[in-house]
Structure 1
Amino acid sequence: MGLGHIHILQGGFIDFMRPGSPLVDYDKGTAAFWGTGDEAFEVTTIEDTARMTARVALDRDVKSGKFAFAGDRISLNRSLDIAENLCGRPFSRQSLGSEADLCAAMDSSDPQTRLFYAYQLYMMNGQTALDKLQNDRYPDIELTRFEDFVQALLG
C-alpha cells in the first residue's frame, strides 16, 4: 500500500514527576525511587508530546522509522536538586533497592503497580534510552525542560 510508519519516542512523561506523584512528595520533601537516583533518562511533557506528534503527522518529509525527541535528560537526583532549589528546602532521598529488587517487586505486585514499576525499570536501566533526537526539526516548538516544568507548577 505504500504506507509509511513513524514510531514516536519521547521518553517518560515529566508529568509523572509533578506534585502528587508517587515518586516525589513536594509537601513533605521526600522522594522514594529504585536504583541510585543517578540513572539518567529522557522526559517530555504530555503537551509537548502532543504538539510534536501532531507536527510529525502533518510533515510529509518525515521518513518512516523512529522519530525521537525529549524535553530533558535528567536523573532523579538531579530533579531533586532542582526541586530543592525551587522549594528552598532539602528533600530526603530513599532508594527502594536495586534493579533486581525492583524486578522482584514487580513479580509480586498487582497489574497496575506492575505497570508503574515497569515504567520505572526502563527509565532506570537505560534499556529505552533515546538517541538521535530530532528536537531541532521544528524550531518553533520549544520543548519544556524539567526545571521550567516544576517552576511553572510551583508558581
Structure 2
Amino acid sequence: MIVVAGASGDLGGRIVQELYALDAPVIALARPGTSAASLHDKGFVVRECDFSNVDSIARALSGAQCVVSALSGLDPVIVGAQGRLLDAAVQAGAARFIPSDFAIDFRRVPPKSNRNLALRRMFLEKAQSAPIRLTSILNGAFMDMLTGTIPIIQHRIKRVLYWGSADQPMDFTTIADTARYTARAAIDPEAPRWLKIAGAQVSARDIAAAVSRVRGSTYRVLPAGTLGSLGLIIQIARRIAPGGPDDLYPAWQGMQYMRNLFAGEGAFEPPLDNDRYRDMTWTSLDEVLRAARAA
C-alpha cells in the first residue's frame, strides 16, 4: 500500500491517479474537512489525520509500505509537517519514504541562493538520519512553467530572454511526467536513493528554436543582463516586495530559480535515470509549447 500526502495539490493528485492507473493500492492522506471532501469527490480513497500530531499521522499510515510526500509550502510545511510525516512513517513501520524534493539538484545550489531550495536542504539533514529507505526524485524545473510562470518567452517581440549565456543547458520535466515517474518509483522496491530525470535539457537558444518551430515564426534570443545584474535585481525586489510569511512564490523567489537555472546551479550531472522505467514516454518542449498555443 502507498500513501500520498499532498494529494489535493496538482502534482500529488496526479501521482495518486497514476498509481490507480498502475493498479497499485493507494490512499490519499488529508486533513479533516474541505481537503478530505475534495479528494473524496475525485474518487480517491482517503484517510484523515491531524498533520500537527505524529501519532495521528502514524495511525493513518498503518499498513503503508511507501509514503509519498507531495507537500508544498515554506518552513512550517517542508520542514515541520513533512518532518512529522517522516517520523510517523518510521513509527508506522513503513519501508520507504519519497520526500517532496521535486526540483533541480538542490545539493549543488549555493547556500542562500534560493530560499525554497534551502528548505529542502534543511529537511534532507533530518531525513538522512531516519531509519527508513529514502528515494528523492529530482526533475529539474517544471517544463509547464515555460508557458507563463517563467516569463522568458516574449511573444510580442518574438524573443527569448536570458541572463549569462544563451547556451547554458537547463533541465525541465512536465508535471505529468514527474507524477508518472514518481508513481513507478513508489511501487519499485529497488528504487535508489536519488533519481534524476529530465524530459528536456535545453538552453535559451534551444527554446527559441522550439518556439520558432511551433509558431512558424522566427524567435531570437535576447540578453537581459548578466547573472550579477539579475542577482542585484533579486536583492532590490526582496526589499521592495518581500512577500508575506505564507507567500511561496513572491516575484524575487521566481527570479532566484531563474538565476539558478541560467547559472547552471543545480544542473544534473550525467547519467539521467529516464530509462529506469521503460514504459515511460517523455513530453517534449515542442509538445508543451504546442498545447499551450492551442489552449
TM-score, with length taken from structure 1: 0.88
Counterpart Cα distance in 2 of 1:100 and 1:128: 18
Aligned to 1:118: 256
Counterpart Cα distance in 2 of 1:100 and 1:27: 27
Asked if the contact 1:10/1:44 (under 8 Å) is kept, the reply is yes
How many residue pairs are counted as aligned between the two chains?
154
Deviation at 1:14, TM superposition (A): 0.9
Aligned to 1:148: 287
**1:38-77 correspondence runs (5 A):** 38-63=167-192, 65-77=193-205
Counterpart Cα distance in 1 of 2:262 and 2:158: 22
Counterpart Cα distance in 2 of 1:68 and 1:126: 15
Asked if the contact 1:45/1:144 (under 8 Å) is kept, the reply is yes
Deviation at 1:53, TM superposition (A): 1.2
Deviation at 1:19, TM superposition (A): 5.5
Find the residue that maps to 1:16 and give its secondary structure: helix
State, as a whole percentage, how many aligned pairs show the same letter.
25
**1:86-125 correspondence runs (5 A):** 86-109=214-237, 110-111=241-242, 112-125=250-263
Aligned to 1:135: 274
Asked if the contact 2:161/2:224 (under 8 Å) is kept, the reply is yes
Counterpart Cα distance in 2 of 1:144 and 1:60: 26
Unaligned runs of 5+ in 1: none
1:6 matched to 2:144? The reply is no
Asked if the contact 2:150/2:254 (under 8 Å) is kept, the reply is no
C-alpha distance after superposition, 1:102-149 (max 9, x if no partner): 111111113412111111111111120113211001111111121232
Counterpart Cα distance in 2 of 1:73 and 1:52: 17
Deviation at 1:92, TM superposition (A): 4.7
The letter for the 1-side match of 2:260 is Y
Asked if the contact 2:173/2:198 (under 8 Å) is kept, the reply is yes
Counterpart Cα distance in 1 of 2:220 and 2:198: 27
The letter for the 2-side match of 1:84 is S
The letter for the 2-side match of 1:85 is R
C-alpha distance after superposition, 1:65-89 (max 9, x if no partner): 2111110110011111111122111
Deviation at 1:56, TM superposition (A): 0.9
Asked if the contact 2:205/2:220 (under 8 Å) is kept, the reply is no
CA RMSD in angstroms, aligned pairs only:
1.9
- In our comparison, the structure showing a higher alpha carbon Rg is 2
Asked if the contact 1:19/1:25 (under 8 Å) is kept, the reply is no
The letter for the 2-side match of 1:120 is M
Greater RCO (CA < 8 Å, at least 6 residues apart): 1
Find the residue that maps to 1:96 and give its secondary structure: strand
Counterpart Cα distance in 2 of 1:4 and 1:86: 43
